[in-house]
Amino acid sequence: MQKSGISKPTLIIDASRAKANIQRMKAKAEAQGAVFRPHFKTHQSGVVGQWFRQKGIDRITVSSVSMASYFADHGWDDILIAFPVNLLEIKKINELAGRIKLYVLIEDLAVAKQLDNLLEHLVGVYIKIDSGAGRTGIPLDDENRVLEFADQINVSKNIRLKGLLTHAGHFYHQPGGKTAIAEKTQQINQKMKALKSKLRKEDLVLSWGDTPSCSMLDDLKGFDEWRPGNFVYYDVMQYHIGSCSLGDIAVAMACPVVAVHPEREEMVIYGGSVHFSSEFIAADQGFRLYGYLVKFTEKGWTTPLPGAWLARLSQEHGIVKLPKEICQQYKPGDLIGILPVHSCITVSAIGRQHDLDGNLIPKMVSI
């Protein structure tokens, strides 16, 4: 890893790992007969988007109108905004719909009607189905409401029904691991297929996509479209869930060491919640895990050092807990690596990104 030129917290992206993650997920989706429409909210980068394009991907998912604009400006012309339509951004939505194939997400009949009135171009819509995450969407079992919704869309002028979309966000906290996730996925799929046959629309797309299920499960054949996002980089949370190996994690935050306290088995790094965001994995007795400590090597980084983890964050400081004998190997001015807990949020927070050769990897700025 090219350390020269790094003097403050910088996210290091291992491009080979990211490209391998892309290739693997694309091949898996295609082997299951699904369209691969990866979510770009994780990397938010035109350069990383190119890595997808080089693998033949031409349809993407984003989580905001701003992100759709950014990627449209980077040449993407088939974009799904997988976030409930924000009516306050109708002007931008119209502008985008005039230049690319745009899809949006709705879960509210009144919004569907307003959208139809306000749109100036034809836009494909997905109906958001709540398959258990309890965040947004029509409950999976509320068949009547889905049918009513589809009827409304069918008599609309500017919106056309494209699919039913769900995000199993609750899989991130699913007790029972892979077996339970497989079982739940199967149940959701059966119900979505039943809805599809009720809607009597052959080309209706059943859209699915969370990194845990797309990574872990062998059979997802009942879904027509996959939208995972996090898999491009993975992270410590995905490793704990079982979605990836440590060797698949494609990002590590480079942080300068600013203080070493062997007597209390801690060191202080320049790297805080403004760089990592504040997400952590909690355990008993107030234990918090914000990331794992790694050493940078010539070609990348090591596996996590045993017994060492990022345990506390303040605005700019991070406190790494580590065994005394490892602690004594460090001094202020060293550069260490941290595998982040949640790469999507960390990417959004951090200012600078490099690849292993020291090339800047730009990403969208305004959020």
In the bound state with a second copy, the residue whose beta carbon lies nearer, of 210 and 248, is 210
Please, what is the minimum distance in Å from the beta carbon of residue 306 to a second copy? 24
Please, what is the minimum distance in Å from the beta carbon of residue 231 to a second copy? 15
In the bound state with a second copy, the residue whose beta carbon lies nearer, of 188 and 268, is 268
Please, what is the minimum distance in Å from the beta carbon of residue 202 to a second copy? 29
Shortest CA distance to 265 belongs to which of 316, 332, 329?
329
Please, what is the minimum distance in Å from the beta carbon of residue 184 to a second copy? 19
Distance CA 367, CA 365 (A): 6
In the bound state with a second copy, the residue whose beta carbon lies nearer, of 89 and 143, is 89
Beta-carbon contacts of residue 317 (< 8 Å; ≥ 6 apart) = 258, 268, 269, 270, 271, 272
Residue with tokens 């958001």: 128
In the bound state with a second copy, the residue whose beta carbon lies nearer, of 250 and 350, is 350
Residues lying near a second copy in the complex (CB under 8 A) = 6-9, 41, 63-66, 83-89, 91-92, 107-108, 110-111, 114, 134-136, 169, 256, 258-260, 264, 268, 270, 273-275, 277-279, 312, 314-317, 319, 331-333, 335, 344-345, 348-352, 365-367
Distance CA 107, CA 128 (A): 5
Please, what is the minimum distance in Å from the beta carbon of residue 155 to a second copy? 20
Please, what is the minimum distance in Å from the beta carbon of residue 162 to a second copy? 19
Handedness of CA 57, 48, 70, 29 (dihedral sign): positive
In the bound state with a second copy, the residue whose beta carbon lies nearer, of 23 and 66, is 66
In the bound state with a second copy, the residue whose beta carbon lies nearer, of 57 and 319, is 319
